Chains A and B, each alone.
Chain A
Amino acid sequence: MSLRRASRAVAPPLPAPFADWFAARGWAPRPHQLELLAKTQAGHSTLLIAPTGAGKTLAGFLPSLIALHERPKKAPIGGRGIHTLYISPLKALAVDIARNLGGPVAEMGLPVRLETRTGDTPVHKRQRQKLKPPDILLTTPEQAALLLSAPDAERFFADLDTVILDELHSLVVSKRGDLLSLDLARLRTLRPGLKAIGLSATVAEPDDLRGWLVGQSPDKPAPEKPALSDLVVVRGGAKPDISILASDERVPWAGHSARYAFADIYDRIATHQLALLFVNTRSQAEMVFQELWRINNRDLPIALHHGSLDATQRRKVEAAMAAGQLRAVVCTSTLDLGIDWGDVDLVINIGAPKGASRLAQRIGRANHRLDEPSKAILVPANRFEVMECQAALDANYLGAQDTPAIRPGALDVLAQHILGMACARPFDADALYRETISAYPYRGLDRETFDKAVDFVATGGYALRTYERFARIRKGPDGLWRITHPRVAQQYRLNVGTIIEAPLLNVRLTRSRRAVVAARGGRVLGKIEESFIEALAPGDTFLFAGLILRFEGLFENEVIATRTADDTPKIPIYAGGKFPLSTYLAAGVRAMLADEGKWTVLPDQVSDWLRIQKERSVLPRADQLLVETFPRGNRHYLVAYPFEGRLAHQTLGMLLTRRLERARLRPTGFVATDYSLGVWGLGDLGQAFADGKPTIAELFDEDMLGDDLDAWMAESYLLKRMFRNCALISGLIEKRHPGKEKSGRQVTVSSDLIYDVLRKHEPDHILIKATWADASSGLLDIGRVSDMLARIKGRIVLKRLDRISPLAVPVMLEIGKESIVGEAHEDVLREAADDLVRDAMGNG
C-alpha cells in the first residue's frame, strides 16, 4: 500500500547549501526530518508527532526550503504567489518562528522571502503582501480566514504548495480549529494537490489529527474509516525526572493554595538556574508570587507572567527570561505553548496538573534539548491532589495521553465561514456543502443542517420569515449565493475569528483615592474580568499584577485602584482559569483509591487517611460510585465521589438539588470540587434513601438529563454566556461596528435579552442548538455527567453514616470558601431591600 511504501521511502541526499549548513555546525539532519522530507516530496500530507526539543520546526520547514531552493530562479511573468503558508495558534509563535527560521535561511543564502501577517501587521505591509506575496507566509487562523474571504483569494493562493500547521494538537480541540479545518478545505479546493504538514505534541488519538490534515470523502454515506495523512513519530528523548514534592509539613485536607510547601519550593528555586512555576489559575499565580516574595530573603529575581497582565509587562518578563536575568517565573498556561524562553532547568507544577498531556507539555519547558532529561516537581495542594499527582506521574511514565477528542464542528463557526466564502466569491450550495464535509470535524454534517446554516447567514433563518428583504446573501438566477451589499463583507471582516474574550476592564493604578472621577494617567496594570469587579465594593482589596490593590471605583471602562498596605487581600477569581480534571486522571485516581497495593507510593499521611476511611466508611471499587449521607449540625449531608471534575460536578449538583427539592427534602445548597460534591438540606437524606423516597438509584437516574436539565438550562446564566459567544461567532451580533467599538458590557446585555426572546419563540433555532452543543461539552460538561450516570448505573454504594467520613472532609471544608454555584437571584434583592427597612427602622 502506498502508505507503507511512503513510510519506507528514503530521502534523497540534502542539496548542497543544506548539507553544508548542517556539516558546518557539526550536525546531521535527524531521521524524522529526512522522513518527513521524503513523504512531502512524494506529495503526501503528513503528521509529525514529536516531543519538545526534537527540531520539529526545522523538520516542518525543510521540505519547503528545499523546494524553494530548487525552483527556477526566474519568476514567471506576473510573479509568484505564496509557496508555503504556516499557521500557528499564537501570534507570538509566528513571530518567533520567523525569527528562528530567518537565521538558517540567511546563513544558507536561500532565495526565500519570509514574512509574518498578524493582527499587528500594519496596513501598508498587508497591502504590499497582497501585491507581492512572500514565499513563506507565517500567520494565524484568523488571518488565514481573512485572506480566504477576500475576492483575490484564488489568485493569492494560486501557487500554494504546502500548509504547515503548528501546535496542531492544541488547535484542533477548539472552535478556532473548526474554522481552520474549513479554511483548509477551501485551500484544498483552490489547490487540489496541496500538502499539509501538521506538527504536534504527543496526543492520545493521532488518527484524529491525521484525518484532520487531509480531505475526507464528500460522498454519502461517508466511508467507515476516515482518510488519514501519513505519520512520522519521534519517540520521546530522555525520560523526564519527575517527583512529587516531599515536604515535612502537613499536607492540607482541602484548598488549592499549596501554602504549606512554599518554603520547600523556595529552596528548590534557590538551587536551580531558572525555575518555571506553573499554576492553574491566574489568581493562584498572583497568590504564589506574593507569598514567594514574602519569604524571598535572598532577593532572588522572581517574576510573574499571566494572560491578564499588560502586554508590555509580559514582554519585559519574557525578555528578562531569555537574557538569563531571572531565577523563577510564576506563570499560567500562557507559557504552555511552544515558545522557547531560555534555559529553564526546573519546572514546578503547583496544584495538580489536571491532565497528563498538560503536564507533559509543561515539563517540556525544561531543558529544551531532546537528549537531556527534563526535571520537574509536582506540588499537590491537598490530599486528593497527592493522588492526582501520583496518577499523573504514572501516566507520564506510561506515555499515556489524555488530550480531548475532536468534537463535531461547531455550527456558529460554520455560519461565519459560509459568509466568508460568500465574500470571496459567489458560491454554489452543493459545492460548498461537499467542501465543508471534506473537513474532518464536519464530515458528519447532514445537508439539512448545512442548508439551515446558509439560511441563517442569509436572513437569520427564522421560522417567521420577515427578513427576506434584508438578506445578507441571496441566491441569484444562476443558482449562486452572493452577498447583497459590500457592507456585508466589511462587517464580516470586522467580526472574523472565534476568540471571544470575557468582558475585560483595564486596571489603572492611581495615587489619589479621591481622584476617581478625574482619574486619568496612572499606569495600566492589565485587564481583569468584569464579573469579578461587579462583586467588589469600593474599599475592597484584591491581588493583581503582584500588587495588593484597593478598589476605588469604576470610571468608564476602567477599574481605578490604589496601592494599599493591607496584607490580606480578597483574591481575584478569574473566570475560565480552572481546568477540569481530565477523564484519564480521574480514572487513575479512582483506581488508586480502590487498590490498597498502590498506596505504598503515597505519603503516610495520605495512606493513613484512606485507611481510616476504609474503617469508618468504605472505599469504592474503581467502577463504583460512593455516596455517603450523614448529619452534621442541624443539616443533613450527601457527599458523592464521582471524580469527574468540577464542571461536571457543578452540573450534577444543580440537578440533584432540583430532584431533592421535588422529593421535599429541602436542599439548601451544594458545593463541588474536582473529586466530589456535597449537597445539604434540612430533610433527613439518609432516612429518605433508606425508605426509598427516593431510592438512591432513582436520585441518580439518567433521566435527570431530560426535563430537569431543560428547566435549569432555561434560566442558567452559563447558557446565556455561551449563547453570547455563539451569537458573536455566527455574526448574529457584531463584535464591533465600523468606526465605533462596542464595549463588551453592551454586548452582554443585549445578547441575554435576545437569548430570552429566541428561546421562548423559536427554541429549536440553529443558534440555540449551537449553544446547547457548547454547553454539553463545555462549561456544563453534560457529556461527562451523562457518561458517568451510565457508568455507575447499578453500581452505587450508599453508606449511611452517623458522622462525617474522612473522605468527606475536603469537600466539607470547601463549604463557605467556595461560592455556591448558581446565580444570585431574588435573595440578594430581598436582603438589600431588608437592609433598607432595617436602616429605616434605625436598628441596622
Chain B
Amino acid sequence: MAEAAQHLSGTGPATLIGVQGTVLEALPEGALWWEGERLLAVADLHLEKGSSFARRGQMLPPYDTVETLSRLALLIRRFNPATVVALGDSFHDDGGAGRMTPRDRAALVDLQRGRNWIWIAGNHDPKAPAGLDGDCLDMLTLGSIRFRHEPSATPSDGEIAGHLHPAARVAGRGKSVRRPCFVGDGTRLVLPAFGAYAGGLNVLDRAFAGLFARPFRAFVLGKDRVYAVARTVLRHG
C-alpha cells in the first residue's frame, strides 16, 4: 500500500511501498531507501554505456558515468547508507570498469568508502567489476527481502529486482507523460533504471505480464515526489 508521509530529508511527501510487510521508501531520484537497514538500492546504473557505444562507432557523449555517479553521490550524501546495493547491470559491459576515467573511478571509490557495497551480478556485467571494491553476489537476502537482478518469471514474494527498466505513461487532459517508475503489488517490486542513458520499458509491455499475482501499481517518478498511479490510468507507448 502506498501512503503519504513527510520524509525529513526529502523535499516532497515521501512515498512508502510495502514489500512483504517491509516498508521501503521510493525516492523520486529512482532509488529505494530502506530505513531499517540503512540500505540504499539502485538498479541498472549502466555505467560506461557511452563508451560502450563509442567502441562500436556511435560516439555518445562521454558524460553518462559522471552524471550517474553524481546523482548517486547526492543520495549517498543525504542518507549516508550503511549499505549500497547495485542491483546488476551496474556497468554496461564487462570492460566498463576498465574504461572509466581516473576521475570517475576516484569518485566511485570515494562513494564506496566506509560502507558495504554490493554488486549484484547482471546480464551485462556477470563478473565483478575489475579493480573495484565491493562484494559481488548473485542474490542478497535480508530478512524476508531478496535482492536480485532479473525478476523471477513467476510471482515471487519478497523479491526486489531491476533489469526491466520499468516506465509508465500516464495520460490526462489529452496529453500524456512518460516517466520511469517503480512497479509493485505489495509482494514484490521492480526498480526503475538509475543510469543516465538507461531507457525505459512500458510496464504494460509483455515483459511484465505474469510477474504479479495481484493488480500492480506504478510508482511514477515526479520532480520532487513519487506518484502512486493505478494500472487503469496507464497507457501504452
Contacts and interface: CB of A to CB of B under 8 A. Distances in A.
Interface in B189-207: 196-200
A832 B200 contact: no
A466 B227 contact: no
A520 to B, nearest CB: 15
B63 A836 contact: no
Interface stretch (A108-116, A173-181, A532-540, A681-689): A532-540
Interface string A720-755: 000000000000111000000000011001100110
Interface stretch (B85-93, B148-156, B170-178): B170-178
A160 B107 CA distance: 59
Given A732-B59, A749-B200, A824-B176, A829 B220 contact: yes
Nearest to A733: B58
A765 B61 contact: yes
Contact of A819 (B174, B217, B222): B174
B228 interface: yes
B61 A758 contact: yes
A432 interface: no
Contact of A472 (B57, B61, B196): B57
A727 B197 CA distance: 15
A535 B196 contact: no
B230 interface: yes
Interface string B140-176: 0000000000000000000000000000011111111
Contacts of B64: 757
Given A487-B57, A534-B235, A537-B171, A829 B222 contact: yes
A823 B237 contact: no
A756 B198 CA distance: 12
Contacts of B173: 819, 824, 827-828, 831
Q: Which residue among B60, B67, B197, B227 has the maximum number of chain A CB atoms within 10 Å of its CB?
A: B60
Interface string B200-237: 10000000000000000100101100011110010111
Contact of B197 (A734, A745, A757, A825): A757
Given A467-B62, A750-B199, A757 B174 contact: no
Contact of A470 (B57, B61, B171, B172): B57
Contacts of B67: 757, 760-761
B82 interface: no
Contacts of A534: 169, 171, 176, 178, 235-237
B197 A753 contact: yes
Contacts of B171: 534-535, 537, 828
B177 A824 contact: yes
Given A554-B237, A732-B59, A757-B61, A823 B175 contact: yes
Interface stretch (A200-208, A456-464, A670-678): A456-464
A160 to B, nearest CB: 31
Nearest to B220: A829
Q: Which residue among A733, A827, A831, A832 has the maximum number of chain B CB atoms within 10 Å of its CB?
A: A832
A503 to B, nearest CB: 9
B235 A537 contact: yes
B54 A470 contact: yes
Contact of B66 (A470, A761, A829): A761
Interface in A437-492: 456, 459-462, 464, 466-467, 470, 472, 485, 487-488, 491
Interface in B63-113: 63-64, 66-67, 101
Contacts of A533: 236-237
A836 B230 CA distance: 6
A464 B177 contact: no
Nearest to A819: B174
Given A537-B235, A757-B197, A760-B63, A827 B54 contact: no
B51 interface: yes
Q: Which residue among A467, A758, A762 has the maximum number of chain B CB atoms within 10 Å of its CB?
A: A467
B179 interface: yes
B172 A828 contact: yes
Given A534-B176, A753-B197, A823-B175, A828 B170 contact: yes
11 contacts: A470-B59, A534-B236, A732-B58, A753-B197, A762-B61, A824-B175, A825-B177, A828-B177, A832-B170, A832-B220, A836-B228
